[in-house]
């Protein structure tokens, strides 16, 4: 239902003026091909600056691509960007247009601007606020809410005036588990009842694993992998994730530990490694027996997660520690 072909967008270089350094041109999306099927929850995963927002802004008609095509439900969005607003609802990363409105007025106004009459805008507003547990906050201005509450209120606005396609740019940023659950519940309900398709930008790999039907991993403007979460995980199936936590610092005088260091992603006292099963067994034996054990605080063994997939794909030259913001 949404076909993207060879989508390319380069932000032009900006010449530096006094006090501001010049910025080189950035190819934010680079020949992206994506196919989203109807009724699917499709994820875009990738590190900061990978080009996720740039990609969805081109899908929503907000930005004209340099090259390539976008077709949503049979409509050519590059040629008719104004049609996007009549097919999809977009939740952007910014909320400044709604900030000074109350939750209830933000939702109602957005519904009316999606073509609802006053009566249906109000009843849909009430239903959505109730569904998301926002009724108690309805009369508060968005500006005076906490970050997660504000995000939830913006999400509510995106749902008033139903659309067959939802494009959500990091909808759950800053939300607690209850609010996140409300978001996924609402998304799921719309999919089950109306066949709504969802394109979701996220950093949260754990969420991605549980919610998404398929994921495209974006890195420096390119799709480096696209599959179901479990399909992606099969790519690193033969591997085990080992995490070691040292009491103070790693005992590098132990040769086995020193040998592991090259393969570890270090963050403070924490080492994360991806190893073949027999290597993992050997490593655990080495650190739990002998001299290294005194320096070890904790260790975990786990089957690979989507995060490991991302690391295995070599996102951003291998120096990225993972997709979960820390």
Partner 1 sequence: MSVVPAEVLPGSAVAQRDRVTVAEGGVRAVAELGARARLWPALAAVYRAQLSRARVARIPLLFVATFQSVGIMVLMRGVVDGGGEARAVVAGSSVLVVAFVALNLLAQYFGQLRASGGLDHYATLPVPPAAVVLGAAAAYASFTVPGTLVTAVVGCVLFQLPLTHLWILAAVIPLAGAALAGLGAALGLLAPRPELATLLGQLGMSAALLLGVLPPDRLPTVVQYARDLLPSTYGVEAFGLTFGADPDWGVVLLDLAVCAGVGVASLAVATWAYRRAAVR
- Point out which residues bind Mg ion (CB under 5 A): 53
Contact 41, 201 (CB under 8 A): no
Element (H, E) at 105: helix 103-113
Instruction: Give the one entry of ligand ATP, partner 1, Mg ion, none that residue 26 binds, where binding means its C-beta sits below a cut-off of 5 to 8 angstroms depending on kind.
Output: ligand ATP
The least distance separating ligand ATP from the CB of residue 7, rounded to whole angstroms, comes to 12
In whole angstroms, give the CA distance from residue 53 to residue 313: 21
| CA–CA dist 241, 233 (Å, integer) | 12
In whole angstroms, how close is the CB of 91 to ligand ATP at the nearest point?
13
Question: Contact with ligand ATP (CB under 6 A): which of 53, 149, 196, 305?
Answer: 53
Residue 208 binds which entry of Mg ion, partner 1, ligand ATP, none, with Cβ cut-offs from 5 to 8 Å by kind?
Answer: none
| Stretch of residues binding partner 1 (CB under 8 A), selected from 113-121, 122-130, 272-280, 297-305 | 113-121
38 binds partner 1 (CB under 8 A): yes
Position 48 contacts ligand ATP (CB under 6 A): yes
Residue 253 CB partners (closer than 8 Å, separation 6+):
291
By a kind-dependent CB cut-off of 5 to 8 A, residue 46 interacts, out of Mg ion, partner 1, ligand ATP, none, with ligand ATP
Q: Are 66 and 239 in contact (CB under 8 A)?
A: no
Q: Name the residue among 292, 217, 290 with its Cα closest to residue 257.
A: 292
183 close to 152: Cβ distance less than 8 angstroms: yes
> Position of tokens 């508060």?
140
Quick one: what does residue 94 bind among Mg ion, partner 1, ligand ATP, none, with the CB cut-off 5 to 8 Å set by partner type? partner 1
Which residue of this chain has its Cβ atom nearest to Mg ion in the complex? 53
CB of 11 to ligand ATP, least distance (A): 3
Is 79 a binding residue for partner 1 by CB under 8 A? The answer is: no
CA distance 272 to 292: 16
d(CA 71, CA 87): 11
CA atoms within 13 A on the CB side of 152: 29
The residues near 40 (Cβ < 8 Å, ≥ 6 apart) are 197, 198, 213, 214
Please check whether residue 101 is in contact with residue 141, taking contact to mean a CB–CB distance below 8 angstroms: yes
Per-residue interface string for the shown chain with ligand ATP, residues 9-28, x marking contact by CB under 6 A: --x--------------x-x
Tokens standing for residue 40: 């699917």
Draw the binding track, 165-194, toward partner 1 (x: CB under 8 A; -: no contact).
-------------------x---x--xxxx
- Taking the complex as a whole, the smallest distance from the CB of residue 83 to partner 1 amounts, in Å, to 6
Residues that bind partner 1 (CB under 8 A): 37-40, 57, 60-64, 73-75, 81-90, 92-98, 100-102, 105-106, 108-110, 112-118, 141, 161, 163-164, 184, 188, 191-195, 210-211, 213
Residues that bind ligand ATP (CB under 6 A): 11, 26, 28, 46, 48-54
């Amino acid at each position: 239902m949404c076909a993207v072909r060879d989508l390319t967008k380069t932000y032009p270089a900006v010449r530096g003026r006094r006090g501001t350094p010049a910025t080189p041109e950035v190819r934010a999306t680079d020949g992206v091909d994506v196919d989203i099927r109807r009724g699917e929850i499709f994820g875009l995963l990738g590190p900061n600056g990978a080009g996720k927002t740039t990609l969805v802004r081109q899908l929503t008609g907000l930005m004209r691509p340099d090259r390539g095509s976008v077709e949503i439900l049979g409509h050519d969005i590059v040629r008719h960007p104004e049609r996007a607003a009549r097919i999809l609802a977009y939740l952007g990363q910014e909320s400044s247009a709604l900030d000074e409105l109350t939750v209830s007025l933000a939702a109602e106004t957005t519904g009316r601007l999606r073509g609802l009459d006053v009566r249906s805008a109000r009843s849909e507003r009430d239903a959505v606020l109730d569904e998301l547990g926002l009724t108690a906050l309805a009369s508060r201005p968005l500006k005076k809410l906490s970050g997660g509450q504000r995000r939830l209120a913006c999400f509510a606005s995106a749902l008033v005036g139903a659309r067959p396609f939802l494009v959500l740019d990091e909808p759950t940023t800053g939300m607690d588990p209850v609010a996140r659950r409300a978001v996924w519940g609402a998304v799921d309900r719309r999919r089950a009842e109306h066949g709504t398709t969802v394109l979701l930008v996220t950093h949260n790999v754990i969420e991605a694993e549980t919610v998404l039907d398929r994921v495209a991993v974006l890195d420096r403007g390119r799709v480096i992998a696209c599959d179901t979460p479990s399909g992606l995980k099969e790519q690193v199936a033969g591997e085990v994730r080992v995490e070691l936590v040292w009491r103070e610092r790693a005992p590098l005088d132990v040769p086995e530990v020193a040998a592991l260091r090259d393969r570890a992603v270090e963050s403070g006292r924490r080492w994360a490694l991806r190893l073949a099963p027999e290597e993992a067994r050997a490593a655990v034996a080495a650190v739990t027996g002998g001299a290294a054990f005194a320096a070890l605080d904790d260790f975990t063994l786990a089957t690979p997660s989507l995060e490991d997939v991302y690391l295995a794909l070599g996102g951003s030259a291998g120096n990225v520690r993972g997709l979960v913001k820390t």
